[in-house]
Chain A
Amino acid sequence: MQLTALERDMLDGKYGEGVALAMKIQVGVGRAFDATKMAPITRAHVALSAQDADLWFVETLLNKGARCVISPTVNPSIDIHYLNEHLFDVPQAGIDIVSATNEAYKKIGATLTFNCTPYLQQNVPSFGEVVAFSESSATPYVNSVIGARSNRESSQSALCAAVTGRVPEYGLLLDENRKGEILVEVKADVKDDFDYQLLGWCYPLKYKGLEIPVFEGIKERPTPEGFMNFGAQLNTSGAVSMYHIVGITPEAPTLEEAFGGNKVKERITITNKDLDMVRESICGEPGKIDFAMFGCPHLTLSQVATIAKILDGKKLAVDLWVLTSSLTKELAGRMGYLQIIQRAGGHIIADTCIDVPPCWQPYYGKTGITDSPKCAYYNEIRNIKFIIRPLEECIEAAIKGEVSR
């Protein structure tokens, strides 16, 4: 790799051991992917997880003197205070690791947004901007919907990028690697945000490769929530960092431009039957539920409004948790949605993830309902079973305490 004098100095330790370690990791990644140089970044997002390795890594960089030159936004952690007050006494080990993680990220210079949808608020790149975003729903969104450029960073490599202010130039940073190779003909009816959960989960089941898919046949522009759901599921069911939707996403005004001269390597068709098959295999049978959980990825204000509208004047039969950013929670309060949800017996919790152990321990072994296949998938390991339905049906079920269809 050709490094500039400054980058060479970083690697050689002239800016401290922490910067040198970050640069060493990035040069290693660059070497692995045949990058010829580094490219400056203007934004970063780190998938903080408050797990052992996450804390260890940020503390290692910190103790070696590293500080971020690009302040990254970070993924959710846990609002321990809120859980203690409303759910259970969070075990001391959990409190310790979460507090230490938050403190370390603050010290290294991260912006403590604790939100997994930075591309909708707080850290929104523009077209063509080179960024380092880790987090499975974020990478496809910034690449595909916005046209910014990020590789599928790991939480570690994204933090290194925030420290050095650059990334190795390879993969999706280069024009020639952003073109489609797989043609996906969508013959299914894709009408609402929930249909994008199913479509996103479905595609990787039909094609395993990592080439960029081009979706054709989607007539209407998805909502921001539709795009958010689509990317989250594509990158959980599979490893899709970028896709095109012909006539809709910015680098695919036409089929020709989406492929950019590439041959169609494989042609996939997705029909209503395929989506029904996904529905049957992951959504679960009707039955009693113990709780409802939403926010994987964090819900937007418009989704919170949808929930509030259905809950207005009603009482919930089971616990209901809406996970979102502190900003969205603040706005929900301002708009009266928070009060409606609380009067019905539900919660809006900020800064928190569905997947940070041990914060949802009281639900281990229970059955919940959610609108997100990703939420269901990551909780399998903790023996929480989820029935999956569209958001509106989930709320109706939480009022009744059971899923009727």
Chain B
Amino acid sequence: MKELNTYKCRMISEGKAEGEVIISEDAICFYLVEPETGIVVEKNHSLKGKSIADKVLIMPSGKGSSVVQADGLYKLAKHNNAPKAMIIEYPDPVLVSSAIVLEVPLVDRVEPGFYENIKDGDLVKVDADNELLAKL
């Protein structure tokens, strides 16, 4: 019997984190997020003006060349404004290597039902090591 509000997922980058959810409709390029605040500054982005700092970031995928993507996430991490964890649908080598290097837990292939049951501001625990997500 499945525990209420827990969902299986697949670990890509290890670690555990708990935090408030922010959902992005669009792929994110971390180069276009302000390192000092964690606020998305990309034109026409669904999260423009919102901060991803310390959040559990749910997004379809990353985007951008390896140079700019890694540099963006690195600068956020140095300012302590990186997301606490990331939940994605489509991995790419750039995002995967950046997340592992910067020790940000990253999971994908989340069990059906999770996305319907989650909204901005919910508290979520990401346990990449045990491949589990829990809505708190």
Chain A positions within 8 Å of B, measured between CB atoms, are 21, 24-25, 28-29, 31-33, 47, 49, 51-54, 56-57, 60, 134, 136, 151-157, 160
Interface centre among B10, B11, B67 (most CB of A within 10 A): B67
| Complex Cα gap A28–B99 (Å) | 10
Check: B93 CB closer than 8 A to any chain A CB: yes
| Chain B positions within 8 Å of A153 at CB level | 66, 93
User: Once the chains bind, are A32 and B70 in contact (CB under 8 Å)?
Assistant: no
B109-122 vs A, CB cutoff 8 Å, 1 = contact: the mask equals 00000000000000
User: Once the chains bind, are B67 and A51 in contact (CB under 8 Å)?
Assistant: yes
Check: B101 CB closer than 8 A to any chain A CB: yes
| Complex Cα gap A25–B70 (Å) | 14
Closest residue of chain B to A356 (Cβ to Cβ) is B67
A-B contact pairs, 20 of them (CB 8 A): A28-B99, A28-B100, A31-B10, A32-B91, A32-B96, A33-B91, A33-B93, A47-B66, A47-B67, A51-B67, A52-B74, A53-B67, A53-B98, A57-B70, A60-B101, A152-B93, A154-B70, A156-B66, A156-B94, A157-B97
B101's partner among A49, A152, A156 (CB-CB below 8 A) is A156
User: Once the chains bind, are A25 and B91 in contact (CB under 8 Å)?
Assistant: no
In chain B between 103 and 134, which residues have their CB closer than 8 angstroms to a CB of chain A?
Answer: 108
Given contacts A29-B93, A152-B93, A154-B94, contact A53 B71 (CB under 8 A): yes
B: number of interface residues (CB 8 Å):
24
B69-110 vs A, CB cutoff 8 Å, 1 = contact: the mask equals 111011100100000000000010110111111000000100
User: Once the chains bind, are A156 and B98 in contact (CB under 8 Å)?
Assistant: yes
| Complex Cα gap A21–B101 (Å) | 8
User: Once the chains bind, are A157 and B71 in contact (CB under 8 Å)?
Assistant: no
| Chain A positions within 8 Å of B46 at CB level | none
Least distance between A15 CB and chain B CB atoms (Å):
18
| Complex Cα gap A153–B74 (Å) | 18
Q: Which 7 A-B pairs have the closest CB atoms?
A: A154-B66, A53-B74, A32-B91, A53-B71, A154-B94, A156-B97, A49-B67
Check: B12 CB closer than 8 A to any chain A CB: yes
User: Once the chains bind, are B101 and A57 in contact (CB under 8 Å)?
Assistant: yes
| Complex Cα gap A21–B102 (Å) | 11
| Complex Cα gap A54–B101 (Å) | 12
Check: B65 CB closer than 8 A to any chain A CB: yes
User: Once the chains bind, are A52 and B75 in contact (CB under 8 Å)?
Assistant: yes
Interface centre among B11, B93, B94 (most CB of A within 10 A): B93
| Complex Cα gap A49–B74 (Å) | 14
Given contacts A29-B93, A154-B94, contact A52 B101 (CB under 8 A): no
User: Once the chains bind, are A25 and B97 in contact (CB under 8 Å)?
Assistant: yes
User: Once the chains bind, are B67 and A25 in contact (CB under 8 Å)?
Assistant: no
Least distance between A148 CB and chain B CB atoms (Å):
18
| Complex Cα gap A155–B78 (Å) | 20
| Complex Cα gap A173–B65 (Å) | 21
| Complex Cα gap A313–B62 (Å) | 51
Least distance between A255 CB and chain B CB atoms (Å):
30
| Chain B positions within 8 Å of A54 at CB level | 67, 70-71
Least distance between A167 CB and chain B CB atoms (Å):
10
| Chain B positions within 8 Å of A24 at CB level | 100
User: Once the chains bind, are B71 and A52 in contact (CB under 8 Å)?
Assistant: yes
